[in-house]
Amino acid sequence: MNVSQPEAITTLMHEHRVIEQVLDAFERCTSQLASNGEVTRATIRGFAAFFRNFVDRCHHGKEEDRLFALMVELGFPRDHGPIAVMLDEHELGREHTRVLSAIGEGEGPLTDEERRKVGSHAGAFIPLLRAHIRKEDEILYPMAMQALSPDRLVTLARDFDAFEANVMGAGEHERYHALADELIAAWSPAAKPVGSCCHHAVTAR
């Protein structure tokens, strides 16, 4: 990673690497599901919790409430162009996550219909989020680094910390990082835990 990359962008890109590893694990999980293998409702609940809280509330929250808002303030359009595409894809991801969450919160073994729904939504959500991450890494974040002054980027990193504390709450980032490590270990045996995002320390729960 470029050593001159601003801390705020480094944090977002490291979160992308965490998300990609969990997507790999989720793909392996749903492959087992498709082959009529055993997958518990608790497993689906765990993946849904990660997507709902780490991906959407934490990562997308920082983007929408802090980075995108700052870029719009500097003149980037919100209703068309790259930011509009990212916002639309965030909402598409939420639709898939809502279905997965509802299934995860049910009771008893997964029904055949629930297994089908998990496979269908995962089959759409996984490539959507992978492509979304590439677009942000390769297009949107470089645009942000070019447009924002060094001082604004330093302030943005502090804004991310404030978002974590005031919106997510103390310890929430670390809790879902730990959940990511659990999911990766359970479904991607060859993968190593990705560790903390930038300056956030992972604490065992």
> Can you say whether residue 195 is alpha, beta or left, with left for phi > 0 and alpha for psi between -120 and 50 degrees?
left
182, 188, 190, 194: CA torsion to nearest 10:
-50
**What CA–CA distances, in Å, run from 164 to 19, 54, 59, 62, 177?**
17, 11, 10, 8, 13
- Judged by DSSP in three states, 76 sits in coil
Above 80 in pLDDT, residue 186?
Answer: yes
Instruction: Specify the fold of 14-187.
Output: Four Helix Bundle (Hemerythrin (Met), subunit A) (1.20.120)
Taking the C-alpha atoms of residue 87 and residue 90, their distance in angstroms, rounded to an integer, is 5
Is the pTM higher than 0.75? The answer reads yes
pLDDT at 190: 61
Q: Which two tokens mark 189?
A: 């045996």
pLDDT at residue 184, as a whole number: 94
> Using 50, 70 and 90 to split pLDDT, how confident is the model at 196?
low
pLDDT interval class at 193 (50, 70, 90): very low
Minimum mean pLDDT range among 7-21, 166-180, 188-202: 188-202
Q: For residues 74 and 71, give the distance between their C-alpha atoms in angstroms, rounded to a whole number.
A: 5
Report the largest interatomic distance among the alpha carbons of the chain, rounded to a whole angstrom.
54
Summarised one tens digit per residue, pLDDT across range 56-96 is 999 999 999 999 999 999 999 999 999 999 999 999 999 99
Structure tokens that stand for 161 in this block:
């910390």
Percent of the chain with pLDDT over 70: 90
Q: How far apart are CA 198 and CA 11, in angstroms?
A: 5
CA separation (Å) from 186 to 28, 105, 138? 10, 20, 30
pLDDT of residue 189: 63
Q: Give the number of other Cβ atoms within 10 Å of residue 130's Cβ.
A: 15
For residue 200, give both structure tokens.
């956030």
Q: At what angle do helices 7-34 and 172-187 cross, to 10 degrees?
A: 40
Predicted pLDDT of residue 201: 36
Give pLDDT, residue 197.
56
Q: What residue segments make up the domains of the chain, in order of their start? A: 14-187
Query: Is 41's pLDDT higher than 70?
Result: yes
Structure tokens at 146: 């070019």
Predicted confidence (pLDDT) at residue 138 exceeds the cutoff of 70: yes
- What's the CA gap between 111 and 117, in Å, rounded? 10
DSSP three-state, residue 77: coil
